[in-house]
Amino acid sequence: EVQLVESGGGLVQPGGSLRLSCAASGFTFSDYWMHWVRQAPGKGLVWVSRIRSDGSITSYADSVKGRFTISRDNAKNTLYLQMNSLRAEDTAVYYCARVYSGSGAFDIWGQGTMVTVSS
Partner 1 sequence: QSALTQPASVSGSPGQSITISCTGSSSDVGGYNYVSWYQQHPGKAPKLMIYDVINRPSGVSNRFSGSKSGNTASLTISGLQAEDEADYYCSSYTRSSTWVFGGGTKLTVL
Contact residues toward partner 1 (CB under 8 A) are 35, 37, 44-47, 50, 59-62, 95, 100, 103-107, 109-112
Which residues have a Cβ under 8 Å from the Cβ of 106 and sit 6 or more positions away?
35, 37, 97, 98, 99, 100
Which residue's CB is nearer to partner 1, number 73 or number 107? 107
Which residue's CB is nearer to partner 1, number 75 or number 104? 104
Could you tell me the smallest distance in angstroms from the CB atom of residue 15 to partner 1? 25
Which residue's CB is nearer to partner 1, number 52 or number 87? 52
Pairing of strands 106-109, 113-117: unpaired
Helix-strand-coil split of the chain, %, nearest 5:
5, 50, 45
Instruction: Tally Cβ neighbours within 10 Å of residue 114.
Output: 14
Could you tell me the smallest distance in angstroms from the CB atom of residue 75 to partner 1? 26
Could you tell me the smallest distance in angstroms from the CB atom of residue 19 to partner 1? 21
